[in-house]
A and B are shown apart, each in its own frame.
Chain A
Amino acid sequence: MEPEPDMPAVESVDLSPLAPRHTDEVYARVAARAIELRKLRRAVVRRGAIAVVLAAAAALVFWLSAPRHDAAIQARPSRDVLDLGMRSDVDPFELLDLGGTHAQ
């Protein structure tokens, strides 16, 4: 059965025997412990953040100081005898002469 809003309320049961015995000492201890742990937590977070920033900076320095991949590709000779032989506008005799020069 659901009570109607205007239904007379059931008298409350005395639950005071279950009430905790919290003294000023208990309150002070809980508050002090919470403050202490919060300070510790904030210190750990702050140091962690500094460590992350330093690690990121070090990684950036390493990355910038490494030889560039594009430069390595450009340093390679762009064409050789085989590349030249694949082209249709190259005279075969010129190519043979070139090969002969290379052979010597």
Chain B
Amino acid sequence: MAESTVELVTRAKRGDASAFDQLVRRHLRAAYAVALAVLGRPADADDVAQDAFIAALERIDDCREPARFSGWLIKIVRNRALNALEKRRLRDADELTHDRASDQAPTDVALRRHLLAALATLTSVQREIVLLHDLDGWSHSELAEALGLSEVNCRQHLFTARRALRAELSALAPARREEARHGTGT
């Protein structure tokens, strides 16, 4: 039986290395989802998620309520991602130079690009909810607790986000077909 997050956090506070490893395996994808919701670029989001996770675990003693580890982690990731976003705006770098998806098939790259474009039309809360729910499999109760919302509110956000994503992807579909036909994903 898998250990609960509370047990893992308690063990990690005692310095148990395997607990750290388990926490990373269990929560790194959620951290990535939150970072992606803020930054909108998978490569940047992965970097920020890993950095934020390391910073969080380094200060695991500051997590006074292990039952709320997810919410605590998400706040750290979000703050780090917002800082990274601010720095990126200052740099004003080209988006494509940061996308490490060049080893993927052109159609995959095009699909990723369209998904990211569709996600960009959502609000930040909607992005976080749809990514945590549909990418990392969070339940509505987990979302509600971690984000400080009611479950009904989470369901509403998810409903609205999915509908907006579908509409946006439908609008982008002709362009995606055109890109796939020409095999130009970048």
Chain A, range 4-44, C-beta contacts under 8 Å to B: 5, 7, 9-13, 15-20, 22, 26-28, 30-31, 33-35, 37-38, 41
Knowing A13-B162, A13-B166, A20-B46 are in contact, say whether A30-B24 is a contact too (CB < 8 A): yes
A-side interface size class: 20 to 34
> Which of B64-72, B80-88, B108-116 binds A?
B108-116
Cβ-defined contact, A35 with B60, below 8 A: no
Residue interface mask B174-186, A partner, CB < 8 A = 1: 0000000000000
Asked if A3 is at the interface (CB within 8 A of a chain B CB), the reply is yes
Instruction: Give how many B residues have a beta carbon under 8 Å from the other chain's beta carbons.
Output: 45
Cβ-defined contact, A7 with B159, below 8 A: yes
Cβ-defined contact, B156 with A3, below 8 A: yes
Asked if A2 is at the interface (CB within 8 A of a chain B CB), the reply is yes
Minimum distance in angstroms from A83 CB to a CB of chain B: 64
Chain A neighbourhood of B159, CB < 8 A: 3, 7, 9-10
Asked if B165 is at the interface (CB within 8 A of a chain A CB), the reply is yes
Query: Which 9 pairs from chain A and chain B are nearest by CB?
Result: A34-B57, A10-B162, A31-B20, A37-B58, A3-B159, A31-B21, A13-B165, A34-B54, A15-B135
* Chain B interface residues (CB < 8 Å from chain A): 15, 17, 20-21, 23-25, 28-29, 32, 36, 42, 45-46, 49-50, 53-54, 56-60, 108, 111-112, 115-116, 118, 130-131, 133-135, 152, 155-156, 158-160, 162-163, 165-166, 169
* Chain A interface residues (CB < 8 Å from chain B): 2-3, 5, 7, 9-13, 15-20, 22, 26-28, 30-31, 33-35, 37-38, 41
